Structures are given as C-alpha cells and as structure tokens.
C-alpha cells in the first residue's frame, strides 16, 4: 500500500481536536511567547522585515547577517527551547503510554540534544550537496550550467528534507536518541512514498502561506490604525500566533504521517523500494 494523503490529514485533524487545549498551552509557552518577545525586544527584527520589503537580496543578506551575528546566543537558546517544545508535543499526542504533560515535557527536554544533533547533521548534508551541485556549475564559468546546478540542487534538497522529515517523531515517539539512527529510520520509513509525502507537505505549505499572508495583512492593517507602537505590537502578536499555529499543525501532521508510514512499513507489502 501507498501513503494516503486524505487519511493522513484526517488523522492529523483528529489529533488536533483531541489534544487542542494541551497543544495550545505548550505552543503558547514554547513558541508564541518567545517569538513575540524577540520581535518586540530586538529592533533588528523590524529592520530585517524592512529589508525584506525592499526585495534587494544584498540588503536582506546584510540584515540577516547583522541579526544573527549580534544575537546568535539568543537564537541558540530559542532553538533549544522550541526543540524541547516540539518534541514534548509529539510525545504528548502519540506516546503509547499516554504521558502526562509533565512526562511529555521531560521527554522533550531529554530528547532535545539528539534532535538538535540530527538537525545539524541534516543541515550539513544539505549544505554540502548544495555547494557541490551549485559550485560545479560556477567553477565552469558557464551561466547555463550554474543555473542548471541550482535547479538540481533545489530538487535534491527538497528530496532530502522530505526523506529526513520524520527524524523528530522518531526521536520523540519511538524514543530513538541516536541522531544518526533517527535520520536513518526516517529515511527507511519514507521509502516508496517520498513523492506522495512531498506533495502532501507542499499542499500544506501553500495553504499555510496564503492563510498567514491574509492574517498578517488584515490584523497588521488593523493595528496600524492605532499608531507605530501599536503596529509593532500587532506585528509581534500576529507573527507569534502564526508561528505557534504552524507548529501545532506541523506536530499533528508529522505524528499522523509517522503513524501511517510505520503501519505501512510493518505490513508484508510495505517494503517496496522507491
């Protein structure tokens, strides 16, 4: 059998409805408050958003560099906190022992080093692949080859991200604390369903981008009517809300996908190569 998009979405919405209250609380503490707080506390964040509005890649890159060089330690702490929150939510919705919130948070805190290590390994692999494919075209000096290398690199990166997307559920739900084995397990689970899984993720991403753009526009204009400070506050609140909402939905989707692919892998015909 193959991965079924409709079943995965129904399972994800079921998980969301059954666990909405607890997920909202954890997402509020681990994602909404930190994200909104950073947006308000760091003026460079608003400068970055202004740079993005210009559409100038050089200005945007300079703003990103200034932000991360100046506050790298803030983003490191944020990555640890949000990683723990993500893992806690995954454990909460799918651990067979039905853990309490406290047990789920403990699982998140204990698993976050493995999760961060897996993310670093995945990022390193993506960077190496991108550098090799894009760099080969750039070295030849031929614009067409460089462009082709960029397109191929983008496709390969999308494939790698899809194949390794279940590392977090493997760590939080299955309890696999070895980051390399977690990535290998994700690769194995997605075998034979990579294209369907990518299509599922892509559809959700498009829907989320459209929804977040509409919300940001509507609420941003509403807050802007009350002055510059209100607009800044509104931007932080809306950004934090959108970020927390995305994480809650992502958690339920990843848990549902992991459950379905785990079930398919255990069936006699679940080992089809692709």
Long-range contacts for 95-98 (Cβ within 8 Å, ≥24 apart)? 95/173
pLDDT at 104 over 80: yes
Domain presence at residue 274: no
User: How far, in Å, CA of 129 to CA of 135, rounded?
Assistant: 10
Domain presence at residue 271: no
Domain presence at residue 86: yes
User: How far, in Å, CA of 148 to CA of 76, rounded?
Assistant: 35
- For 39-81, how does the pLDDT look when each residue is reduced to its tens digit (9 = 90+)? 777 766 666 666 565 666 666 777 677 777 777 888 889 899 9
Query: Average of pLDDT values for 1-22?
Result: 91
Domain presence at residue 259: yes
Q: What is the pLDDT of residue 239?
A: 83
Domain presence at residue 273: no
Q: What angle do CA 219, 223, 226 make, to 5 degrees?
A: 160
User: How far, in Å, CA of 94 to CA of 258, rounded?
Assistant: 10
Q: What is the pLDDT of residue 232?
A: 75
Q: What is the pTM of this model?
A: 0.86
Residue-range definition of the domain harbouring residue 219: 5-266
Q: What is the pLDDT of residue 39?
A: 77
Domain presence at residue 202: yes
pLDDT at 273 over 60: no
Domain presence at residue 261: yes
Of residues 57 and 82, more confidently modeled: 82
Domain presence at residue 134: yes
Q: What is the pLDDT of residue 274?
A: 46
Q: What angle do CA 216, 221, 222 make, to 5 degrees?
A: 105
Number of domains in the chain: 1
3-state secondary structure of 191: coil
Of the CA atoms within 13 Å of residue 247, those in its CB half-sphere come to 27
């Amino acid at each position: 059998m193959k991965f079924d998009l409709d079943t995965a979405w129904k399972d994800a919405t079921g998980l969301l409805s059954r666990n909405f209250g607890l997920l909202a609380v954890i997402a509020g503490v681990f994602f909404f408050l930190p994200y909104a707080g950073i947006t308000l506390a760091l003026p460079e964040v608003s400068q970055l958003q202004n740079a993005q509005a210009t559409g100038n890649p050089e200005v945007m890159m300079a703003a990103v560099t200034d932000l991360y060089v100046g506050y790298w330690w803030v983003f490191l702490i944020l990555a640890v906190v949000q990683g723990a929150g993500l893992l806690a939510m995954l454990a909460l919705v799918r651990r067979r022992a039905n853990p309490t919130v406290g047990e789920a948070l403990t699982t998140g805190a204990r698993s976050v080093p493995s999760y961060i290590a897996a993310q670093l390994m995945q990022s390193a692999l993506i960077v190496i692949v991108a550098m090799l494919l894009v760099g080969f075209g750039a070295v030849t000096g031929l614009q067409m080859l460089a462009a082709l290398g960029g397109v191929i690199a983008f496709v390969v990166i999308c494939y790698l991200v899809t194949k390794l997307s279940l590392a977090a559920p493997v760590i939080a739900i299955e309890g696999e604390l070895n980051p390399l084995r977690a990535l290998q397990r994700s690769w194995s689970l997605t075998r034979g369903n990579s294209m369907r899984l990518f299509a599922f993720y892509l559809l959700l991403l498009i829907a989320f981008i459209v929804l977040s753009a509409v919300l940001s526009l509507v609420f941003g204009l509403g807050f802007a009517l009350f002055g510059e400070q209100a607009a800044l506050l509104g931007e932080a609140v809306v950004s934090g809300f959108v970020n927390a909402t995305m994480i809650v939905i992502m958690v339920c989707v990843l848990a549902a996908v992991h459950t379905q692919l785990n079930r398919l892998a255990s069936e006699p015909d679940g080992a089809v190569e692709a």
